[in-house]
């Protein structure tokens, strides 16, 4: 008779907490396919499904609901035992900045997992516009930050590269000979400058009809059909269409999600967090 191991239970918990296999995979630093295989193995052992699929996500089946508290208790006890007997527990304080849009789901999952694995580390997490993070690092307000740049510097570690493109609602089109309505970021950042450079190179009239501090705000304007916007390809879905070539807009640079930190007296917490973030994003490539 096959038995349940803690690795399967942790995968089950990650997917249950995230509500989808994709987001659950990010929490445990595995690929979506590897996570799906583990869930299938678990269901094969039990002889019944632990999740019900719906839309793009999953919800617990009756068996899954029965299994949830047991899995939580078992993994918590194992983690507690490891902490009690380990002589290498990481302690200290870590101030982390994560962007409020790009990669937020992945990064939030990593930090939650880190907090469970390293309960003696005092985490201070800032979720905000990432354009302000480099300055916050220089001023000593953050120890570690993840943010987007056009070209990484030598001290910035590349995590993820996302090509940008001009996008409109799939249900709305804009004539190439009319003044083009656009949605831009209202914060001084390279995204806004790249969009304006592309528009000016077209040498055709345009007007800014919507400004937002976040990616989600620009997406909302595009989905509503009131403007085109410059977005990363990772933000595309079935309701959006790439229209740069149709409208004669030139290619735009890729966005690079990077990680950077500052020197601290106690490097243990920062090194552990860097390793967790690095591993998670490597699994997504």
Nearest to 183 by CA among 199, 201, 161: 199
Contact 27, 14 (CB under 8 A): yes
Residue position matching structure tokens 């992945």: 106
Coil, helix or strand at residue 173: coil
Question: CA torsion sign, 9 to 11 to 14 to 15?
Answer: negative
Burial status of residue 141 (CB atoms within 10 A of its CB: 0-12, 13-18, 19 or more): middle
Contact 200, 227 (CB under 8 A): no
pLDDT in tens, 134-159: 999 999 999 999 998 888 999 999 99
Q: How far apart are CA 197 and CA 6, in angstroms?
A: 53
- The more confidently predicted of residues 187 and 42 is 42
CATH topology of domain 6-85: Arc Repressor Mutant, subunit A (1.10.10)
pLDDT band at 191 (very low <50, low <70, confident <90, very high): confident
Helix and strand element counts for the chain (H, E): 9, 12
Which whole-number Å values give the CA distances from 152 to 125, 127, 135, 140, in the listed order?
Answer: 23, 21, 15, 20
Residues 214-250 as b/e (b if ≥16 CB within 10 A, e otherwise) read bbebbbebbbeebbbbbbbebbeeeebbebbeebebe
Mean pLDDT in residue range 233-240: 86
Query: What residue spans define the domains of the chain?
Result: 6-85, 92-161+256-284, 164-252
pLDDT in tens, 63-101: 999 999 999 889 888 877 777 776 567 889 999 998 876
Structure-derived torsion over alpha carbons of residues 250, 158, 276, 130, reported in degrees to the nearest 10: -60
pTM: 0.68
Nearest to 136 by CA among 275, 268, 273, 261: 261
Q: Do domains 92-161+256-284 and 164-252 have the same CATH topology?
A: yes
pLDDT band at 45 (very low <50, low <70, confident <90, very high): very high
Contact 142, 198 (CB under 8 A): no
Q: How far apart are CA 182 and CA 208, in angstroms?
A: 5
pLDDT at residue 228 is higher than 60: yes
Domain boundaries 92-161+256-284, CATH class: alpha beta
Per-position DSSP letters for 198-231, written without gaps between them: HHHHHTS-EEEEEEESSHHHHHHHHHTTS-EEEE
Mean pLDDT in residue range 26-54: 90
pLDDT in tens, 248-268: 888 788 989 999 999 888 898
- The more confidently predicted of residues 271 and 177 is 271
Q: State how beta strands 206-212 and 180-185 pair.
A: parallel
Model pLDDT, residue 140: 94
Residues paired with residue 206 on neighbouring β-strands, in sequence order? 180
Contact 46, 33 (CB under 8 A): no
Domain boundaries 164-252, CATH class: alpha beta
pLDDT at residue 28 is higher than 70: yes
């Amino acid at each position: 008779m096959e038995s349940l191991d803690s690795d399967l239970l942790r995968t089950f918990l990650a997917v249950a907490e995230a509500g989808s296999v994709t987001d659950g995979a990010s929490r445990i630093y595995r690929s979506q396919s590897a996570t799906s295989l583990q869930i299938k193995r678990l269901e094969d052992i039990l002889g019944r499904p632990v999740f019900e699929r719906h839309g793009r996500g999953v919800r617990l089946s009756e068996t899954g609901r029965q299994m949830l508290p047991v899995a939580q208790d078992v993994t918590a006890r194992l983690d507690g035992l490891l902490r009690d007997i380990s002589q290498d527990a990481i302690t200290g304080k870590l101030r982390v900045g994560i962007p409020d849009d790009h990669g937020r789901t992945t990064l939030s999952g990593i930090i939650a997992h880190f907090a469970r694995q390293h309960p003696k580390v005092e985490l201070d997490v800032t979720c905000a516009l990432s354009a302000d993070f480099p300055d916050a690092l220089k001023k000593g307000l953050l120890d570690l930050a993840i943010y987007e740049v056009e070209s990484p510097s030598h001290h910035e570690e590349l995590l993820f590269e996302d090509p940008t493109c001009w996008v409109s609602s799939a249900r709305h089109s804009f004539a190439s000979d009319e003044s083009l309505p656009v949605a831009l970021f209202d914060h001084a950042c390279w995204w806004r400058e790249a969009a304006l450079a592309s528009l000016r190179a077209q040498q055709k009239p345009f007007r800014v009809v919507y400004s937002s501090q976040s990616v989600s705000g620009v997406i909302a304007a595009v989905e509503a059909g009131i403007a085109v916007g410059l977005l990363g390809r990772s933000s595309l879905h079935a309701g959006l269409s790439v229209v740069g070539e149709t409208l004669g807009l030139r290619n735009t640079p890729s966005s690079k999600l990077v990680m950077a930190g500052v020197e601290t007296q106690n490097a243990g917490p920062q090194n552990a967090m860097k390793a967790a973030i690095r591993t998670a994003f490597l699994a997504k490539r």
